[in-house]
Amino acid sequence: MTEQDIIREFLIESTENLNRLDQEIVQLEQRPNDKELLASVFRTFHTIKGTCGFLGFGILERVTHHAENILSRLRSGDLRLSPPLVALILQSLDAARKMLAAIESTGTEGTDEFADLVQRLESAATAAVTEAAAAPPDSSPVEAEKASAAADTAIRVDVGLLDKLMNLVGELVLARNQVLQFTTQKEDGALNATSQRLNLITTELQENVMKTRMQPIGVVWNKLPRLVRDVSHACGKQVRLELDGSGTELDKTIIQAIRDPLTHLVRNCCDHGIETPEERARIGKTPQGVVSLRAYHEGGQVNIEISDDGAGIDAERVKQKAIEKGLCTPEQAGRLSEREALNLIFVPGFSLAQKVTNVSGRGVGMDVVKSNIEKIGGLVDVVSRVAEGTTVKLKIPLTLAIIPGLVITSSTERFVIPQVSLLELIRLDGASAGKIEHVHGTPVYRRRGTLLPVAYLNGILGLQPPAASEAVNIVVLQAEDRQFGLVVDGINDTQEIVVKPLGKQLKGLTIYAGATIMGDGRVALILDALGIGQRSGVLAEHRDEERAESQKKAHSTAEKQRLLLFRAGSFERLAVPLSLVSRLEEFPQSVIERAGGSPVVQYRGGILALLSLAKVLEPDAPDDAMDRDPAQVIVFQDGERSLGLVVDQINDIVEDAVTVRRQSGRHGLLGSAVVGKHVADFLDLHTVLGTAGGDWFAGAAGGARRGTVLLAEPAAFARGLLHSELQMAGYQVIEAAGAAEAISRLEQGGIDVVIVAEDLPRAGSQEVLDAVRRRPGSERIPLLALASGPVQGRPAGSEPFDDCQSKFDREAMLRSLERLAAALEHENPVVAAARSEK
Partner 1 sequence: MAIVVDDSRAVRMILSRTLRELGYQVGEAGNGREALEAIGQFAPVDLVMADWNMPEMDGLELLKRIRESPAYRAIPVIMVTTENETDQMSAALAAGANEYVMKPFTKEILIDKLRLAGLPS
Instruction: Kindly tell me which residue out of 15, 47, 178, 651 binds partner 1, with binding defined by CB under 8 A.
Output: 47
Q: Specify the residue, 233 or 335, whose C-beta has the smaller distance to partner 1.
A: 233
Least Å distance between CB 760 and partner 1? 51
Distance CA 295, CA 301 (A): 10
Distance CA 270, CA 227 (A): 10
Least Å distance between CB 17 and partner 1? 9
Return the H-helix or E-strand segment holding 446: strand 442-447
State the Cα angle at 266 between 261 and 272, rounded to 5°: 115
Contact (CB, 8 A) for 559 and 786 = no
Distance CA 512, CA 502 (A): 8
Q: What is the 3-state secondary structure (H, E, C) of 158-201?
A: CHHHHHHHHHHHHHHHHHHHHHHHHHHCCCCHHHHHHHHHHHHH
3-state secondary structure of 633: strand
Least Å distance between CB 240 and partner 1? 13
Least Å distance between CB 372 and partner 1? 22
Least Å distance between CB 127 and partner 1? 21
Instruction: Kindly tell me which residue out of 21, 32, 51, 264 binds partner 1, with binding defined by CB under 8 A.
Output: 51
Q: Specify the residue, 61 or 803, whose C-beta has the smaller distance to partner 1.
A: 61
Instruction: Kindly tell me which residue out of 43, 197, 282, 705 binds partner 1, with binding defined by CB under 8 A.
Output: 43
Least Å distance between CB 13 and partner 1? 5
Q: Specify the residue, 36 or 298, whose C-beta has the smaller distance to partner 1.
A: 36
Longest dimension (CA), the chain: 117
Instruction: Kindly tell me which residue out of 54, 113, 115, 829 binds partner 1, with binding defined by CB under 8 A.
Output: 54
Distance CA 725, CA 741 (A): 21
Residue 683 to residues 324, 564, 580, 666, Cα–Cα distance (Å): 21, 11, 11, 10
Cis-peptide into 83, omega within 30 deg: no
Residue type, 245: G
Instruction: Kindly tell me which residue out of 37, 55, 379, 584 binds partner 1, with binding defined by CB under 8 A.
Output: 55
Site string for partner 1, 1-40 (x = CB under 8 A): x---xxx-xx--x--------------------------x
Residue type, 458: N
Neighbouring residues of 249: CB distance < 8 A, sequence distance ≥ 6: 211, 214, 215, 216, 217
Distance CA 597, CA 469 (A): 81
| Footprint on residues 279-308 left by partner 1 (CB under 8 A) | none
| Footprint on residues 190-249 left by partner 1 (CB under 8 A) | 222-223, 225-226, 229, 233
Size of the site for partner 1 (CB under 8 A): 24
Instruction: Kindly tell me which residue out of 49, 213, 723, 807 binds partner 1, with binding defined by CB under 8 A.
Output: 49
Binding status of residue 75 toward partner 1 by CB under 8 A = no
Alpha carbon 442 to chain centroid, angstroms: 28
Neighbouring residues of 310: CB distance < 8 A, sequence distance ≥ 6: 269, 272, 273, 274, 275, 289, 389, 390
Q: Among 585, 693, 699, 692, which Cα is nearest to 638's?
A: 699
Q: Specify the residue, 45 or 445, whose C-beta has the smaller distance to partner 1.
A: 45
- DSSP secondary structure of 284-330: T--SSEEEEEEEEEETTEEEEEEEE-SS---HHHHHHHHHHTTSS-H
- DSSP tag of 270: I
Least Å distance between CB 152 and partner 1? 23
Instruction: Kindly tell me which residue out of 35, 53, 191, 471 binds partner 1, with binding defined by CB under 8 A.
Output: 53
Q: Specify the residue, 222 or 598, whose C-beta has the smaller distance to partner 1.
A: 222
**Rg of the chain taking only CA atoms, in angstroms:** 37
Least Å distance between CB 3 and partner 1? 9
Q: Specify the residue, 12 or 159, whose C-beta has the smaller distance to partner 1.
A: 12
Q: Specify the residue, 22 or 388, whose C-beta has the smaller distance to partner 1.
A: 22
Q: Specify the residue, 72 or 442, whose C-beta has the smaller distance to partner 1.
A: 72
Least Å distance between CB 226 and partner 1? 5
**Sole window of 46-54, 666-674, 790-798, 828-836 interacting with partner 1 (rule: CB under 8 A):** 46-54
Least Å distance between CB 536 and partner 1? 47
Q: Specify the residue, 6 or 607, whose C-beta has the smaller distance to partner 1.
A: 6
Q: Specify the residue, 53 or 501, whose C-beta has the smaller distance to partner 1.
A: 53
Q: Specify the residue, 39 or 147, whose C-beta has the smaller distance to partner 1.
A: 39
**Which residues contact partner 1 by CB under 8 A?**
1, 5-7, 9-10, 13, 40, 43, 46-51, 53-55, 222-223, 225-226, 229, 233
